[in-house]
Amino acid sequence: MFSGLVREIAKVRALENNILRLESTYTPQIGDSIAVNGMCLTVIALHSDGFSLEISKHSAQSVAMENYTKCVHIEPALRADSRLDGHFVQGHIDSIGTITAINPHANQTLFTIAADEPTLQLAIPQGSITIDGISLTISSVQRDSFTLTLIPHTMQNTLFASYRVGRRVNIETDVLVRSVAHILAKMSNAESMRAFAANALNTKPKPSWSELDDIALRY
């Protein structure tokens, strides 16, 4: 579990086969979990200037791998006594979005990111979302995209200042929103099945009043 607050911007030293080697001042332990641009990876080797992590085939197919060549956001997993200044982040990428607009203003920068329908259904205005491992707040949601408002501190301490229109980004929706949506969907499906079963057991047409009168006269 992570919080979406970047610990450091690490430099990619190598990416060969499924092994990602990073140059970093942070010193983990073998087996530690590290979120790299939001993707939870396991440390498999330590070096004098950093560490290496293993990327599974499934993970590689789920993220924007073209962004793992120069610099990346890293965050160690939360400890039981860690502060939670962002929001609960699992490190499981849900989808890949594309930056469609960047609008800088005096004290903020607006990023618009196009996303697929399942992601947008879980995007809530003023709710949390993780982009490339960074916990951010959704300003607004449009038909095919959502907009984020980044303050100068975020721009200065993350890689967002180097992002350009057309860049793909890793997206993880809020786990709490996903959980509620999943439960409601299951409840809705269960209710539909109950209604279908009740209707199937009640398919025989009810008799009319005249038919009921005819039955009564026979007795």
Q: What is the pLDDT of residue 194?
A: 66
- Residue 188: Cβ within 10 Å count: 10
The answer to which of 87-91, 117-121, 195-199 has the lowest mean pLDDT is 195-199
Q: Are residues 70 and 132 in the same domain?
A: no
Q: What is the pLDDT of residues 27-73, one digit of tens each?
A: 999 999 999 999 999 999 999 999 999 999 999 999 999 999 999 99
Query: Does any domain span residue 49?
Result: yes
Q: Which DSSP string corresponds to 47-101?
A: ETTEEEEE--HHHHHHS-GGGSSSEEEEEEPPPTT---SS--B-S---EEEEEEE
Query: Does any domain span residue 90?
Result: no
Q: How far apart are CA 37 and CA 9, in angstroms?
A: 10
Query: Does any domain span residue 106?
Result: yes
Query: Does any domain span residue 119?
Result: yes
Task: Return the amino acid letter for 98.
Answer: T
Mean pLDDT of 10-21: 96
**94 contact partners, CB below 8 Å, separation of at least 6:** 118, 119, 122, 171, 172, 173, 178
Q: Are residues 117 and 170 in the same domain?
A: yes
Query: Does any domain span residue 194?
Result: no
Of 49, 76, 103, the residue that ends a domain is 76
Of the candidates 207, 204, 14, 171, the one whose C-alpha atom is nearest the C-alpha of residue 89 is 171
Q: Are residues 123 and 172 in the same domain?
A: yes
More confident: 90 or 217: 90
Q: Using CA atoms of 97, 154, 136, 59 in order, give the dihedral in degrees to the nearest 10.
A: 50
Mean pLDDT of 148-174: 96
The answer to which of 90-94, 100-104, 146-150 has the lowest mean pLDDT is 90-94
pTM here is 0.83
Query: Does any domain span residue 81?
Result: no
Q: Are residues 36 and 101 in the same domain?
A: no
Q: How confident is the model at residue 138 (pLDDT cuts 50, 70, 90)?
A: very high
Structural domain count, the chain: 2
- For 50, counting Cβ atoms within 10 Å of its Cβ (0-12 exposed, 13-18 middle, 19+ buried), the class is buried
Q: Are residues 30 and 66 in the same domain?
A: yes
Q: Are residues 99 and 171 in the same domain?
A: yes
Range of the domain at 135: 95-176
Tokens representing residue 174 in the block: 């809020």
Q: Are residues 17 and 72 in the same domain?
A: yes
Q: Are residues 69 and 30 in the same domain?
A: yes
Tokens representing residue 197 in the block: 């079963």
- Residue 27: CATH number of its domain: 2.40.30.20
Q: In the chain, which residue ranges form alpha helices assigned H by DSSP?
A: 57-62, 117-121, 152-157, 175-200, 209-218
Q: Are residues 52 and 104 in the same domain?
A: no
Query: Does any domain span residue 59?
Result: yes
Q: How far apart are CA 31 and CA 208, in angstroms?
A: 74
Q: Are residues 62 and 111 in the same domain?
A: no
**5 contact partners, CB below 8 Å, separation of at least 6:** 75, 85, 86, 134, 135
Of 176, 191, 206, the residue that ends a domain is 176
Q: Are residues 99 and 158 in the same domain?
A: yes
Q: Are residues 169 and 108 in the same domain?
A: yes
Query: Does any domain span residue 217?
Result: no
Task: Return the amino acid letter for 113.
Answer: I
Mean pLDDT of 67-94: 87
Of the candidates 21, 10, 28, the one whose C-alpha atom is nearest the C-alpha of residue 73 is 10
Q: How far apart are CA 53 and CA 45, in angstroms?
A: 7
